Structure 1
Amino acid sequence: MTSALVFRQLFDATSSTYTYLLGDGASSEALLIDPVFEHERRDLALLRELGLRLVATLDTHVHADHVTGAWLLKQRCGSEILLSEAAGAAHCDRLLRHGERVAFGSRYLEVRATPGHTNGCLSFVLDDLSRAFTGDCLLIRGCGRTDFQQGSPGLLYRSVHEQILSLPDDCLLYPGHDYRGLTVSSVAEERRYNPRLGGDIDAADFAGYMQHLGLPHPKLMDIAVPANLRCGRPEGDAGEAMADQQWAALTYSFSGIWEITPHALEEGLAGAAAIQLIDVREPQEFVDVLGHIPGASLLPLSQLAARMDELDARRPVVAVCRSGARSAQATVLLQKSGFSQVANLNGGMLRWRAEALAVEGGGD
């Protein structure tokens, strides 16, 4: 019996790149396809919240529009870096060839070589043929360009027709990019409606179309391609890119904020971190049944923007409210105002009280 699949489609607005998370529900092993360097924390937060363990990252090709997050993710959780043998990249743990399988738990992806956009383009097909991840080879009602990085219209035409459009009609196709907000297509749709590769279009028609696109090169090409030939490993002091907030035991949530648990905050308040603890509830809540944390300063969310000068931007700040919702908003406001060491108390006063930690005021 096939294990349940965990599947998420993630998006980078800057480069219009899709990243795909696939997990095996039974073993909790997971893969990430086309991770983006700037979203390493987002991806790790989602893995943690879904209870998954990343075993490998797969890039469909050497990207020219963004830097892969493969190397960063390997530093964080020991995941292997997988890329086409034809890509010519350094720092890979496994070089992939056509027909190989990449396992995650009891599930796997089949590797299909689909050159034409670049020599090293790969597409990945799920074991039950229900999904395929086409990178830039086949886009929704489009395809990747063929005018640089060893691109070839002839190769791309054959790749798409032999390796992707030969899949079952109902196989869902997930592209590497989309610039119009489209998220998924199918083999039947693209075979019929793709204006470049569908219908009665032959290889000569396709080559003529692609040779007259006249597109400018990607803005980040001179940065992204060399970086991706290193699998995203930064030049110089690579450790600098891994810098985190070290003033407390924090976790980065999928919603994009740093969080601290009640016990970690209790330890921090007793230590030498000089934490500024602000309670962003209204005055009546500060003294109601939940009480407040000893040493907290009342700074209601409604007044925060006007009173930020009461805080020292050089010292860590932890925001707290009843449940963690308003204080999460407070952390966002503080970060936008230049506070770099900011965290939200996870669960707020409700969790603080539930863990029987010290309060001032309040009741049973």
Structure 2
Amino acid sequence: MIFRQLFDSVSSTYTYLLGDVESGEALLIDPVYEQVPRDLALLQELGLRLQATLDTHVHADHVTGAWRMRQRCGSEIALAATVHAEGVNRPLQHGDRVAFGKRYLGVRATPGHTSGCLTYVLDDESMAFTGDSLLIRGCGRTDFQGGSPQQLFASVREQILTLPADCLLYPAHDYRGITVTSVAEERRFNPRLGGDVDLGDFAGYMDNLNLPHPKQMAVAVPANLRCGKPEGEAQVAVETPDWAPLTLRFSGVWEIEPMALLEHAADFQIVDVREAPEFIDRLGHLQGATLVPLSQLMARLDELDRERPVVAVCRSGVRSAQASVLLGKAGFGKVANLAGGMLRWKAEGLPVATDSI
């Protein structure tokens, strides 16, 4: 099985990708609206087909990427049936299963943080995705969206902490950078729900948290009740740049294929970031390319036209990928990396220049 844990630094949200190797089918748990391009790039690179997005609950601190993912790859949207959200393809109830290839996630109702919380348990009970119901050494708040300390205590104790002791638990958030815990750890060390804590202890603690509401709550909750669909007729901003046929890599770098660059070369600034001797070695260089070694790039930005698209080139595509990142951070809005660099360009038999600098 393919498993990836992804992170959104703005909301401290974990998104989880699970894929069945044999069938290529995949599920995505708790996608984040702004991170959809990242998630699509990873699916493409791993050769996976997204069957469904599953949200653990109606989030109050970020907007789900479920609707955007469905628009891009036709995936179903799965969410608790009790939420009655607009646009859900698969309203889930306790005991349901969501399959991906030969594997599946079992659905367990774990209300308490909100009334519509679900925990997803892998078929062999080796891992579970707890949303905000159980965090690492903590739990989600219970003071809005139908939350209840009594319900959450019962949910965690009966549906999560009864899993095998070595079952790994993956939450929807962590604000300290911790990535995973286990049933055994939380049974023993969770200060709110583990050890000898009883319902009176837990409810007394939760009823006196006095936390401010999440900053994005007024926006996030209504949007998530539409599964992330923009309000009214608003549509998603263009995700792929329209100035060239580009592919977004999971690293966050846009790439252009050699043949596409050959066809559109006259429209771009081609910046070769190798060192001077490499520019005229056996690989040659692209006609019209400007040599700006990566070590000098930031000092020579004024030599480049910020309004004209830039394609960075190097031997293999590694240094030029770094150049693309640096140019983007420096305010260049249209930047791409030549996929595979001069090695691939030469391997595809495309024309090169060998004139001196």
Q: When the two structures are superposed, what TM-score results if normalisation uses the length of structure 1?
A: 0.95
Amino acid in structure 1 at the alignment position of 2:108: R
User: Counterparts of 1:187 and 1:302 in 2: how far apart (Å)?
Assistant: 49
Matched, 1:219 2:215: yes
Aligned to 2:67: 71
> Is 1:262 matched with 2:258?
yes
**What secondary structure, in the 3-state scheme, does the structure 2 residue paired with 1:150 have?**
coil
State which of 110, 134, 137 in structure 2 corresponds to 1:138: 134
**Equivalent residue, structure 1, for 2:291:** 298
Q: Give the C-alpha shift of residue 354 in structure 1.
A: 1.0
Amino acid aligned to 1:337: A
RMSD of equivalent CA atoms: 1.3
Q: 1:143-162, aligned counterparts within 5 Å?
A: 143-162=139-158
Structure 1's unaligned 5+ residue stretches are: none
Q: Distance in 1 between matches of 2:189 and 2:345?
A: 57
TM-aligned CA deviation for residue 193 of structure 1: 1.3
Cα deviation, 1:146-182, whole Å, max 9, x if unaligned, reads 0111110000011111111111111111111111121
Q: 1:10 aligns with which of 6, 12, 22?
A: 6
Alignment of 1:244-263 (within 5 A): 244-263=240-259
1:163 maps to which of 159, 166, 182: 159
1:345 to 335, 338, 343: 338
Cα drift, residue 236 of structure 1: 4.4
Query: Residue type of the partner of 2:101?
Result: G
Match of 2:185 among 184, 189, 210: 189
1:235 to partner: Cα distance: 2.3
Question: Given the superposition, is the C-alpha separation of residues 82 and 352 from structure 1 closer, same or farther in structure 2, using an over 3 Å criterion?
Answer: same
- When structure 1 is superposed on structure 2, of 279-288 and 116-125 the one drifting more is 279-288
- Any conservation in 1 of the 2:240–2:246 contact (CA below 8 Å)? no
CA distance in 2, matches of 1:328, 1:254: 12
Structure 1 counterpart of 2:312: 319
Which amino acid in 2 is paired with 1:304? Answer: L
- 1:102 aligned onto 2:98: yes
Q: Is the CA contact (8 Å cut-off) linking 1:72 and 1:242 kept in structure 2?
A: no
Q: Displacement of 1:311 after TM fit?
A: 2.2
Q: 1:360 Cα deviation (Å)?
A: 0.8
Taking a change above 3 Å as real, the CA distance of residues 60 and 26 of structure 1, as seen in their structure-2 partners, is same
State the distance in 2 between where 1:243 and 1:6 align. Answer: 26
Q: CA deviation at 1:231?
A: 0.8
Structure 2 unpaired stretches of 5+: none
Cα distance, 1:227 vs structure 2: 1.2
Give the equivalent residue in structure 1 for 2:280: 287
1:12 positional shift: 1.1
Q: Which moved more, 1:292-301 or 1:252-261?
A: 292-301
Partner Cα distance (2:149, 2:249) in 1 = 43
Give secondary structure in 2 for the equivalent of 1:159.
helix
Which residue number in structure 1 is paired with residue 353 of structure 2?
360
Report the equivalent of 1:205: 201
Residue by residue over 1:223-275, the C-alpha shift from the partner in whole angstroms, topping out at 9 and shown as x without a partner, is 111111111112245434234201221111111110111112112226xxx11
Deviation at residue 41 of structure 1 after TM alignment: 1.2
Provide the C-alpha distance between the structure 2 equivalents of 1:300 and 1:199, rounded to a whole number of angstroms: 60
What letter is aligned with 1:332? V
1:328 lines up with 2:321 in the alignment:
yes
Q: Return the offset for 1:309.
A: 2.5
Deviation at 1:312, TM superposition (A): 2.2
Q: d(CA) in 2 for partners of 1:300 and 1:236?
A: 49
SS at match of 1:292: coil
